[in-house]
Amino acid sequence: MQLLFVADPLESFKIYKDTTFAMMREAQRRGHTLMACEPKDLMWQRGAPVTAFVRDIRLTGEPEPWFQAGQQAPHERPVALKDVDAVLMRKDPPFDTEFFYATHLLEQAEREGARVFNKPRALRDHSEKLAVMEFQQFIAPTLVTRDGADVRRFHAEHQDIILKPLDGMGGMGIFRVGTNGLNLGSIIETLNNHGATTFMAQRYLPEIAQGDKRVLVIGGRPVPYALARIPQNGEVRGNLAAGGLGVAQPLSARDRDIAEAIGPVLAARGLLLVGLDVIGEHVTEINVTSPTCFQEITDQTGFDVAAMYLDALETAFAAA
């Protein structure tokens, strides 16, 4: 197959941990042809199909340079997305307006015959923070609002809460407010921009001390191991980007129940790869834009997550 990865600049990859790199490596091992571009390289012109200006790449197997490219800017090769076997949307968050516009271009490419994973409409429809609200049987008490009075009532009821922006990533902008309510007013003003911006509050889950688990679901089926991201040095955040320690572990019975309930629902909507964030007994986020942790799980357990993903991708391609 010809695979086009729409991703961040290749030069920015940290290949020792990058999940998109792990996908590329497994795809090349299977004999697939690799191309790469950034969202800024997508173009749609009247009377023409959605086109990407791509680099044909091959992995070298070395740390540096880790890839060879047939083209360099500004000489990338134009290719209609409908002529590619599979387009893998792997642009990291944030989900900003440019990401939003990219999903529209990719959806038009689908109408022209392209196969895009994860499905562009599903990326738009599943806000990584808000998507948990559909599955209320699996979540802790949660509030979405822009009204400070709502948050104060929520804090009065639950005493110890987490507040976070809806467009955050890597643990950025997350606050904990304990029973004394210290700085709650200032935090509300910061997150809601004086009433202009919606944000989320959740009851604090003390099980975070054992880790914020990333449970990967591929083609509706859970990977048998999760990566528990354990907060370090007094942090409340387990995100690896915030200094959390990643420890791979087998799924608990609860993890599996959650994944087997949510996974098939999301897979049916075109989400081939999903990352569920689970603290204790509860789902806190559903990651769909560019779920990670392939390499950490494989390195620690020997389970080849990238191979499972390529199996699912090849199956989806054959069924299309």
Catalytic site residue 229? yes
Please report, to the nearest 10 degrees, the dihedral formed by the alpha carbons of residues 121, 7, 240, 223 taken in order: 60
Tokens of 83: 């002529």
The CA R_g of the chain, rounded to the nearest whole Å, is 20
Catalytic site residue 255? no
Instruction: Name the active-site residue from 115, 129, 203, 213.
Output: 129
Instruction: Name the active-site residue from 25, 237, 255, 296.
Output: 237
Instruction: Name the active-site residue from 38, 107, 255, 277.
Output: 277
Q: How far is Cα 254 from Cα 250, in angstroms, rounded to an integer?
A: 11
Q: How far is Cα 196 from Cα 240, in angstroms, rounded to an integer?
A: 30
Catalytic site residue 237? yes
Catalytic site residue 90? no
Please report, to the nearest 10 degrees, the dihedral formed by the alpha carbons of residues 296, 301, 307, 310 taken in order: -50
Catalytic site residue 192? no
Catalytic site residue 214? yes
Q: How far is Cα 49 from Cα 86, in angstroms, rounded to an integer?
A: 16
Catalytic site residue 164? yes
Instruction: Name the active-site residue from 213, 214, 239, 296.
Output: 214
Instruction: Name the active-site residue from 38, 119, 287, 296.
Output: 287
- If we measure between CA atoms, which residue out of 53, 17, 62 comes closest to residue 35? 53
Contact 185/148 with Cβ under 8 angstroms? yes
Instruction: Name the active-site residue from 55, 164, 203, 213.
Output: 164
Catalytic site residue 287? yes
Contact 71/40 with Cβ under 8 angstroms? no
Q: Annotated active-site positions, please?
A: 129, 164, 214, 229, 237, 277, 285, 287
